Structure 1
Amino acid sequence: MGRECLPFIFLMLLPVALVWANPPTLNTISELRTIEFGHRFPRHGLHLLYFIAHQLVVDDDDVIIPTFVPDRGDWGFVPYSNLEGVFPPLKDYNRQGYYSAGSLNTSAESSLPPYVTQSYRYAPKHPEANRDRVVVRTRPNSQLLEALYITKYYPLGVCQSHQYDPKNTWQISPTLLREIHSYSANRVDGLSVFLFIAYYDVSSSYFNELCDYSDPSRDNNIDQVEDPSAQQPPNDYTAVNKRVTLNNSNNHIECYEILLEVKATDNGYARIRWSNIPDTLLDKGVQVNVCKEDGNCFISPIDMRSYGTYDSGEYLNKGLSPRLQFIDTKAEIMRGPTYDNTDRKLPVEIQGFDASFQVYTKDTLACAALFIKPNSGWMQKSSNSWVGLYSDHRSDSYIEWKWAKEFQCSQSIPYYDICTHCFGTAIKPGAQVRFFPSGSSSTVSMPWER
């Protein structure tokens, strides 16, 4: 390690030696409005907070119960060391931890809902496009959460890869989590209501030289005022009946309605779908290039059609990214959601086992993954367990099956052994994989909805 990095390391460790941070707590959406966290395009913090909040249950005793498992990597959560001392110290380093989610320039981006990653996909090179994070602290020896925080990430150069900004870090109280739920409960437009009430700045939504981004989260008749505190809470009409006027000045085009996505064909290959491409772009000559994680791309010709599909001969794998580009210059206009080979579904817990189960696809094939806690006695418990592939959820006859003990295992992530098997049959919409425990007819099953 070069001597030039020593001052940075000293500064990094100094907060730990002096004092641990105790971030201020936000208790209401009114308080959330007063901070800068994902309130302007292309920041994604409010979208991320809304999503994570809806993956939590807060009981009457303010206990925060997640429907996901952070240490398993659900929704892209990764362990966070807290070396900078941004958050309070852990009570038991062996039995609890900090986990961070929200990084959009890694493979974790594909597992998050498209509405969370949308701003990043529209402006991936913008310096503010990947700043926001949600951090959770688990309880000792428990998957329950002790605390949830929001924070801002920023790079520090070659000597330190990243750090969270203590001046832009806040704890989210159970009361605020309940309030987020209350504004969006049982509403199909809950996100738009929340963004409006939290004062997401639609006027900031301009994302490249060609397109204007117009987010339908506010009504164009609502007056914009300089001081957010002067605004009144919206009623149902202003919060729900909303639309932003198209801005076609200076030959700009509204690109918000454009849809680009990767789906599955019936034989497990990649199907590219697009719609709502404006005639102005078609006249300029555009195509959909789909790029893999290794950077190689293939072309989906759209033939001057504003909508359509293209069945490629490419294997359906994680990381495929559809991109609308000019034919001549290859200049990128926007991206669609990165394909997630798990259908954006979390593993399902297997009753009676310290393990969970997930369906995914690789190279067109239907596959299953088992997430197993080490030292759980899995081999003894599952000696007669098997996994079957079915054509759909109504079928009683499997296409293929495999003993669970014959899955190939490796410790790909901390705290879990991952055992996998790919069947010889292509994944297709409606396919289902079921887990049959030893000596029991009960099943754990998930239909493939692509």
Structure 2
Amino acid sequence: MVNGTLNDLSQLKQSGFGQPWPRHGLNLLYWFAHDYIDFRNGKMVSISSPHDNRFGFHKFKNDDDDHIVPIENLPYYEVGNLNAPGADELPNYVRAEYNQSNRDSNKDRIIVHQDANGNFNRVYVTEHLKDNLKQFDSKKTYCVSQGLLQIIKNMTREQFLNKTSKTQEVHASQPQISKPEVGGVRNRPQIREVTAPLDNSCSCTIL
């Protein structure tokens, strides 16, 4: 089952999702929050229906013995498999480090659940088991709160990676991650975030 709810950037970093390089989960989550979804009247809407199979979306079969997300009547969809039809629509920065010979470069996924009106009411991040690419790791499955998704949406990718990546590698495929210089010559905009304890209820509500 789900291992709790991520409510802020520090919890996302501590979860280890999308890390270390060459995993693509952090860039995938940034694209999802910043470009794929929007918030209208307290609802989470998407630029296209996952049913259309754009960006590699496809139905998630929650039929393993160890259900990583709650059993629901309405469908779940997953995105993040860089081999899936339509995944070539994902931005280059999400796909840049993909290497078929390196399983870690394609192990991260986002799972979404739709309500009866077609809005997203839950978002999860997860990863494949180390030695089984057909099953996901329930201990590495987290609900992502709408509050955290809104924080990510208001950040640049540079700011987001600086806040959430544990590694300092800089790759040619992505912009140089800048750091504040001594004396205040160059300062990044400050991102305010609310730090909250890990919530095991997985309500995914706006904080």
Aligned residue among 148, 158, 163 for 1:192: 158
On the 8 A contact 1:58/1:174 being kept in 2, the answer is no
Q: Deviations over 1:5-60 (max 9, x none)?
A: xxxxxxxxxxxxxxxx2441111112111111113211000100011112112245
Post-superposition offset of 1:239: 4.2
Pairs within 5 Å for 1:318-337? none
Partner of 2:205: none
Could you tell me which runs of 5 or more consecutive residues in structure 2 were left unpaired when the two chains were aligned.
190-207
Post-superposition offset of 1:101: 0.4
Partner of 1:173: 145
Q: Which has the higher helix share?
A: 2
On the 8 A contact 2:108/2:126 being kept in 1, the answer is yes
Change in Cα spacing, 1:201 to 1:214, as seen in structure 2 (3 Å) is farther
Is 1:36 paired with 2:48? no
TM-score by length of 1: 0.38
- Within 1, Cα distance between the matches of 2:56 and 2:166? 24
Q: Deviations over 1:264-315 (max 9, x none)?
A: xxxxxxxxxxxxxxxxxxxxxxxxxxxxxxxxxxxxxxxxxxxxxxxxxxxx
- Within 2, Cα distance between the matches of 1:109 and 1:99? 14
Aligned amino acid, residue 179 of structure 1:
I
Post-superposition offset of 1:213: 4.8
On the 8 A contact 1:23/1:87 being kept in 2, the answer is no
Q: Deviations over 1:350-399 (max 9, x none)?
A: xxxxxxxxxxxxxxxxxxxxxxxxxxxxxxxxxxxxxxxxxxxxxxxxxx
- Within 2, Cα distance between the matches of 1:117 and 1:214? 9
* Percent identical: 27
Change in Cα spacing, 1:154 to 1:65, as seen in structure 2 (3 Å) is same
Post-superposition offset of 1:130: 0.6
Q: How many residues align?
A: 185
Partner of 1:50: 30
Partner of 2:92: 114
- Within 1, Cα distance between the matches of 2:51 and 2:120? 12
- Within 1, Cα distance between the matches of 2:187 and 2:24? 23
- Within 1, Cα distance between the matches of 2:5 and 2:186? 31
Aligned amino acid, residue 167 of structure 2:
D
Is 1:89 paired with 2:71? yes
Pairs within 5 Å for 1:45-444? 45-54=25-34, 55-61=36-42, 63-84=43-64, 85-90=67-72, 92=73, 96-120=74-98, 123-140=99-116, 142-154=117-129, 162-183=134-155, 190-199=156-165, 201-203=167-169, 213=172, 215-219=174-178, 237-239=186-188
TM-score by length of 2: 0.78
Question: What root-mean-square deviation, in Å, do the aligned CA atoms of Structure 1 and Structure 2 show?
Answer: 2.7
On the 8 A contact 2:179/2:188 being kept in 1, the answer is no
Aligned amino acid, residue 146 of structure 1:
N
Secondary structure at the residue paired with 2:126? strand
Aligned amino acid, residue 218 of structure 1:
I
Change in Cα spacing, 1:192 to 1:89, as seen in structure 2 (3 Å) is same
Q: Deviations over 1:143-177 (max 9, x none)?
A: 211200110023756xxx60111111111111001
Change in Cα spacing, 1:214 to 1:99, as seen in structure 2 (3 Å) is closer
Could you tell me which runs of 5 or more consecutive residues in structure 1 were left unpaired when the two chains were aligned.
1-20, 184-189, 206-211, 223-234, 241-450
Post-superposition offset of 1:193: 1.9
Post-superposition offset of 1:133: 0.5
Which of the pair has more CA radius of gyration?
1
Post-superposition offset of 1:108: 3.1
Which one has more relative contact order, counting CA pairs under 8 Å at least 6 apart?
2
Q: Deviations over 1:238-269 (max 9, x none)?
A: 548xxxxxxxxxxxxxxxxxxxxxxxxxxxxx
